[in-house]
Amino acid sequence: MKVTFFDAKPYDRLYFEPMLADAGIDVKFCEYRLSPETAALAAGSEAVCIFVNDDAGAETIDALARAGVKLIALRCSGYNNVDFDAAEGRVRVVRVPAYSPAAVAEYAAGLMLATNRKIPRAYARVRSGNFSINGFLGFDLEGRTAGVVGTGRIGKKFITICRGFGMKIAAYDAYPDPSLDAEYMPLEELERRADVISLHCPLTDETRHMINTAAIERMKDGVILINTSRGGLIDTTALLDGLKSKKIGGAGLDVYEEEEAYFYEDLSNEVITDEELLQLLAMPNVILSSHQAFFTEDAMRAIAETTVGSLLAFRDGRELENELRFERGGELAFAGN
């Protein structure tokens, strides 16, 4: 079996290369992201392996199908970059539904603490010889309310962490888990009650811009907003307005709505032209990182193991437990769930 691995970074090769070799899979690592223009690089491969910012839209899938590709293996849990209408009946799609929920939840908690207590600014100030604490006032998390939007594996881990701080929990999910000991409520009510709001849901047509101007207006003054899921959950223009008006006290963001052009690349010698990104980077109450919440040894190992397992199952004609597909009526189905 041959696989073309797009958007390959050194850390990808560290975990994937030995596993693929042990599995007897012939792999071609490409530094380029998958796009309609680069899809031809997969000619001769039965599968491609892609990540969050690769383009698996309709035009790309047409090119992959012409190149003979039969499987797209997402080495992530999100799938908003795949056009399933174009893929149906032509190219099968698998993902990694869970790798290390703790990794993302712990990072979200880190962003919550760092944003509230201004830790990055404090570190930078002391490094420059300034030991003033003026401007670093935060609030106790104990007794405050954490609004958790999305109570899947990661959301549940985040709830556990917040409870360790003595926080109250307000939860929202389109499909509530009756076994979870948490108070579910409508999203609008959560927005009104939460002191910290953390997003842990996938990006779909229904969730895109779920945090918008109206949602921000409902929030408490000084609310902290955390996003380790997908940038498109937040309307960036509305977020900036909320930060400028001080309605939002701080934002800890590991994702950005237009991150595809920037994240995972070294652009330190380039001029950034995205005006909204520049505004976020300039704000003292915003922490922005480069979609790294998943990035632990444990998660990378699990991602590689699950992805290689799916590739082997496809090669051997076995059931694809982690397949994403459209069923009758156009609804997305999750195999193995």
Q: Is the pLDDT of residue 331 over 80?
A: no
Residue 121 appears among annotated catalytic residues: no
Tell me the sheet residues that pair with 326.
332
| Joined tokens for residue 17 | 């290369």
Q: Is the pLDDT of residue 221 over 60?
A: yes
pLDDT of residue 332: 62
Name the catalytic one among 95, 257, 291, 323.
291
Give CA separation, 285 vs 6, 141, 194, 198, in Å.
35, 17, 18, 16
CA atoms within 13 Å, Cβ hemisphere of 56: 32
Model confidence pLDDT, tens digit, residues 8-50: 999 999 999 999 999 999 999 999 999 999 999 999 999 999 9
Angle at the Cα of 103 (from 199 to 288), degrees rounded to 5?
55
Nearest residue to 224 via CA among 140, 164, 150, 297: 140
Can you say whether residue 87 is alpha, beta or left, with left for phi > 0 and alpha for psi between -120 and 50 degrees? alpha
Name the catalytic one among 106, 191, 259, 323.
259
Which string of DSSP letters, residue by residue, matches 33-100? PP-TTTGGGGTT-SEEEE-TTS-BSHHHHHHHHHTT--EEEESSS--TTB-HHHHTTT-EEE--S-S-
Q: Which CATH class is domain 101-288?
A: alpha beta
Name the residue ranges covered by the structural domains of the chain.
2-99+297-334, 101-288
pLDDT of residue 334: 61
Domain 101-288 in the same topology as domain 2-99+297-334: yes
Residue 260 appears among annotated catalytic residues: no
Residue 230 appears among annotated catalytic residues: yes
Average of per-residue pLDDT values in the chain: 95
Phi, psi of 245 (to 5 degrees): -80, -5
Give CA separation, 35 vs 104, 127, 200, 210, 219, in Å.
27, 42, 27, 28, 39
Q: How confident is the model at residue 325 (pLDDT cuts 50, 70, 90)?
A: confident
Q: Is the pLDDT of residue 335 over 60?
A: no
Cα–Cα distance for residue pair 319/181, rounded to 1 Å: 34
Q: Is the pLDDT of residue 328 over 50?
A: no
Q: Using only C-alpha atoms, what is the Rg of the chain?
A: 21
Q: Is the pLDDT of residue 76 over 50?
A: yes
Name the catalytic one among 33, 230, 257, 323.
230
Predicted structure pTM score: 0.89
Q: How confident is the model at residue 98 (pLDDT cuts 50, 70, 90)?
A: confident
- Least confident segment among 45-49, 75-79, 115-119: 75-79
Domain 2-99+297-334 has CATH 3.40.50.720: yes
Q: How confident is the model at residue 212 (pLDDT cuts 50, 70, 90)?
A: very high
Cα–Cα distance for residue pair 305/22, rounded to 1 Å: 11
